[in-house]
Amino acid sequence: MINERLESIFLQDVAHEIGATLLGDSKQEIEDIAPLDRATANQLSFLSSAEYASHLSTTEAAAVILRPEQQELFNGNRLLMDDPYLGYAKAASLFHPFRQVDFGVHPTATVSLSATLAAGGWVGAKSMVMAGARISEGVYIGPGCVISSGCKIGKGSRLMANISLMEDTVLGEGCIVHPGAVIGSDGFGFAQEGERWIKIPQLGRVVIGDRVEIGANTTIDRGALEDTVIEDGVKIDNLVHIAHNVHIGENCAMAAMVGVAGSSTIGAGSTFGGQAGVVGHIHIAPGTHCTARTFVAQSIEEPGVYSSGTPADTNRRWRRNTVQFKKLNESIQRLRAVEKKLGKIEMSEKQEPQE
């Protein structure tokens, strides 16, 4: 696997790396990847949506990633695969991999004498690694991060900047955490005594698997008694909140501003559009897909696509509909009363003697 930025690469090597079938010049040199309408003579492009097919006749791209059934649409070099967008993602990583320049510890960083730092990593400016933390080989810790006591970070993970891992947080191998994320802060746990609130100590951890990506300013709370668990391959966007004791199955994906309340369990391979919300203490079946702004108020046992929310409308019509919505229960009761009367009329007509 190619793991460093190359100035150029032969098209046959690109095909091998992304798992595509090559039709054309195997020795064509590729220097980068670009959209169809902006690609130049040494760049690779792709067609993932039919609406951009018109660009194929004018693109200057050296090669294009296409589906097999689309190969006749382009006369130049072609890389054929069932999912061109996936091909684009893999190809882009060839030309723009993460490049770690520095190794060691920045002079302004603070590392506890009882912490363990394996070789090949970096602790950035003004970052802190506290007592008992264990940092594996090749971990990148950017500037301004706090790695609290007892934390464990797996091989090759990257913490970009200003990230807080609170006590005993476990982060697996190959993870990426974007700026401002807070992992392992206390969950929202309080008991009420009269008019005041008594804080419940949060005794669990956050345990995150391998290849997880966590977006900027996302927060994941530690468990109250048991751990909050994020399994392998989960992708979480910016500004997402995961409450205490939540368990998210492998390869789930959540877009920006999703909120998951405490002690809910989300099955593997589920997806959530932006601003979707999940109440606490429910179960969501594996393979469930909730569109943007879906409000999940009860357990979902059957996988599928779920939606809720009110689409935008003119203000005047929206206000009228809102008034009617408030009267919905009354309207239903009146409708049932009418149906009951109609049923009695139909029954009496059937019972009338025939002349």
Average pLDDT, the chain: 94
Q: Give mean pLDDT, residues 11-19.
A: 96
Checking if the pLDDT of 38 tops 90, the result is yes
- Per-residue pLDDT tens over the stretch 80-101: 999 999 999 999 999 998 887 7
Q: Which amino acid is at 231?
A: E
Compare 122 and 350 and report the one with higher pLDDT: 122
Residues 6+ apart with CB under 8 A from 181: 163, 164, 214, 215, 216, 217, 218, 219, 220
What is the band of 147 on the pLDDT scale with cuts at 50, 70, 90?
very high
Share of the chain above pLDDT 70, in %: 97
Residues 6+ apart with CB under 8 A from 327: none
What is the band of 156 on the pLDDT scale with cuts at 50, 70, 90?
very high
Instruction: At 65, give phi and psi (nearest 5°).
Output: -85, 125
Q: Which amino acid is at 96?
A: H
CA–CA gap between residue 255 and residue 273 (Å, rounded): 5
Checking if the pLDDT of 231 tops 70, the result is yes
- Per-residue pLDDT tens over the stretch 122-131: 999 999 999 9
- Per-residue pLDDT tens over the stretch 216-225: 999 999 999 9
Is the four-CA dihedral 325, 327, 333, 335 of positive or negative sign?
negative
- Per-residue pLDDT tens over the stretch 276-307: 999 999 999 999 999 999 999 999 999 999 99
What is the band of 68 on the pLDDT scale with cuts at 50, 70, 90?
very high
Active site annotation includes 244: yes
Catalytic residue among 244, 247, 281, 289: 244
List the 289-290 sheet strands across, edge first.
Answer: 104-105, 122-123, 140-141, 158-159, 176-177, 213-214, 235-236, 253-254, 271-272, 289-290, 305-306
Q: Which amino acid is at 301?
A: E
CATH 2.160.10.10 describes domain 104-306: yes
Give me the residue spans of the domains in the chain.
9-95, 104-306, 316-351
Provide the pLDDT for residue 344: 76
Q: Give mean pLDDT, residues 24-48.
A: 96
Provide the pLDDT for residue 5: 52
Checking if the pLDDT of 7 tops 70, the result is no
Checking if the pLDDT of 232 tops 90, the result is yes
Predicted TM-score (pTM) of the model is 0.88
What is the band of 205 on the pLDDT scale with cuts at 50, 70, 90?
very high
CATH 3.40.1390.10 describes domain 9-95: yes
Token pair listed for 53: 């097919």
Provide the pLDDT for residue 297: 96
Instruction: At 16, give phi and psi (nearest 5°).
Output: -65, -45
Checking if the pLDDT of 187 tops 90, the result is yes
CB 223 within 8 Å of CB 203:
yes
CA neighbor of 229 nearest in space, from 196, 207, 199, 205: 207
What is the band of 310 on the pLDDT scale with cuts at 50, 70, 90?
confident
| Least confident window among 161-170, 285-294, 307-316 | 307-316
Compare 337 and 344 and report the one with higher pLDDT: 337
The packing angle between helices 11-18 and 84-95, to 10°, is: 120
CA–CA gap between residue 132 and residue 152 (Å, rounded): 9
CB 183 within 8 Å of CB 214:
yes
What is the band of 168 on the pLDDT scale with cuts at 50, 70, 90?
very high
Token pair listed for 50: 């039919």
